[in-house]
Structure 1
Amino acid sequence: MRRFKHLFFLLLVITLVPMTSCDDDDDDVEPSRMDLLTAGEWSGFAIFVNGADVTDFLASDEDEPIDVRTWKLKFNNDGTYTIRGDGVDPSPLQGEWEFTNNEQAIILEGDSPGDTQTVEINKLTSSELFLNMTLEDEDSGTSIDGEIRFRR
């Protein structure tokens, strides 16, 4: 009987140790917005204006087509960025970036003085980046707020 008690105690200890050991879930830390943004290159896939997908419409413009599906956007840890693709003038467009508004927006500064734009982050995950920005038509002088969507 004594041997049975020792065996039972040993079995109890062996089964309880894994249950009371360190839990890996406690160590899971969500990536920072900086980590999410700079983890790799983003590929454009859509432009929405007032909830409507205008990607094909903009890409088929005969005078100045803008095909966001060719865009590649890269944010670097050193505070620089590059955008390249059809309709990006000049391509590649390079400059510096920084978070603003408690990391809910990004200030993009281009190469030339005064070439600065602030874009709001509508969505940022490890696989999707949705940026709300103002698209300007230099010919007509009008501007449109649109959401440019990227994925990785």
Structure 2
Amino acid sequence: MRIIKLSPKDIDFPDRSSVSTYFKIKLPQRNPPGQFLLTQSRIAESGIAIGELIIFSYKTEITHIAKSASGRLEYPNTGNKDYPFYFIVDMNTVCSAKGNLADVEVALSSVGIHKNIVRSQGWPSIPNSQAIEKIWNSLKK
């Protein structure tokens, strides 16, 4: 499971309503649909796998969950220095979610996984398991 923290510094997410617009309108209209752009250092080459569970958050609020439909890929526009990589979000799995990162941290702790996800700057990754999938499913609105 990967936690992706959407930033208000990103041009696509200046406020909370823009996050909803992004998932409802922009992401499905990308070519290919679900193309989620990545900066140079966000996810390592082998850092995301097909079918990986994803939690998207904005200012610690969990906004959406989905699954990955690809690993990390190189962006075809070689002139794009800000976003040289991307992965595909499986648009059939995107759904609105509820809660916040502190709730996820508590749920992880209850199954023996002690990981600081609220205060970390990066996009934490937690190995998938039945317990993790149950936590991820509990976030669906």
Same fold (TM over 0.5): no
Of Structure 1 and Structure 2, the greater strand share is in: 1
Mark the structure with the bigger radius of gyration: 1
Q: Which has the higher contact order (CA 8 A, sep 6+)?
A: 2
TM-score (norm 2): 0.29
